[in-house]
């Protein structure tokens, strides 16, 4: 992997961490650029990728927020089977709990 690729992955990891630590975080592109010291193109690319990955959502006024279902409490309800892939508990298993 290139140095740039590692740098982008680090920025994505950091942004995901910020939104998970503060589920109510709501940032415009300008605020995100200042917070993470990114240029406009890099910021739009990273935030756009996180929207495409359904981690973030963009509000009507253009702000970025954590997409419903991605809060730490929501992620804690995800079951991790032995294979390591993530699945949601079935409705039957939820009723029997």
Domains in the chain (CATH in brackets) are: 3-69 (1.10.10.10)
Ranges of H-type helices in 1-97: 3-21, 29-36, 40-52, 72-76, 91-96
Alpha-carbon gap, residue 69 to 77, rounded angstroms: 10
The series of mean pLDDT values per 10 residues for the chain, 97 residues long, is 68 94 94 95 93 94 88 51 51 52
The pairing of strands 56-58 and 26-27 is unpaired
Q: For the beta carbon of residue 43, count every other beta carbon within 10 angstroms.
A: 23
pTM (predicted TM-score):
0.67
């Amino acid at each position: 992997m290139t140095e740039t690729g590692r740098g982008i992955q680090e920025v994505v990891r950091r942004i995901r961490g910020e939104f998970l630590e503060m589920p109510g975080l709501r940032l415009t592109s300008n605020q995100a650029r200042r917070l993470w010291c990114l240029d406009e193109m890099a910021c739009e690319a990273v935030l756009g990728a996180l929207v495409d990955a359904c981690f973030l959502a963009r509000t009507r006024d253009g702000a970025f927020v954590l997409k419903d279902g991605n809060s730490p409490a929501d992620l804690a309800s995800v079951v991790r089977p032995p294979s390591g892939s993530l699945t949601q508990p079935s409705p039957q298993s939820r009723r029997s709990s």
